[in-house]
Amino acid sequence: MTRYRNSTQIICDVLVATKECGQEGIKTTALLSKSNLSHGRMQTFLSTLTGSGLVNQIKFDGKNTFVITPKGQLFLEEYQRFSDMAESYGLEI
């Protein structure tokens, strides 16, 4: 049975991929691959993430690079804590 991700899980996948690349950031193509999204859906999520201050977009040599912010790292930590707690009660998020 195929299990689909909800929006929050996709946001976390994007944040994890961004965090793994550190302060050098991650380029769009690598982010597409690591988060397993189409370009159109990726643009929607990146717009949301940059608009809410969870990710910064940096243009360098005409290419977009994305870096997780401290606010994004805090979101990821809190989501993981909540996810772990829910799992301990036998709930799937």
> What is the per-residue pLDDT across 42-80, written as a single tens digit (0 to 9) for each?
999 999 999 999 999 999 788 899 999 999 999 999 999
Q: What is the pLDDT of residues 7-40, one digit of tens each?
A: 999 999 999 999 999 989 999 999 999 999 999 9
CATH of 7-88, one of 3.40.47.10, 1.25.40.10, 1.10.10.10, 1.20.58.760: 1.10.10.10
Residue 41 amino acid letter: R
Q: Rounded to an integer, what distance in angstroms lies between the CA atom of residue 43 and that of residue 23?
A: 21
How much is the pLDDT for 40?
95
Helix or strand holding residue 52 (H, E):
none
Q: Look at residue 2 and tell me whether its pLDDT is greater than 70.
A: no
* pTM greater than 0.85: yes
What is the chain's alpha carbon radius of gyration, rounded to the nearest angstrom?
14
Q: Rounded to an integer, what distance in angstroms lies between the CA atom of residue 85 and that of residue 93?
A: 10
Question: For the chain, which residues make up each domain, given as ranges?
Answer: 7-88
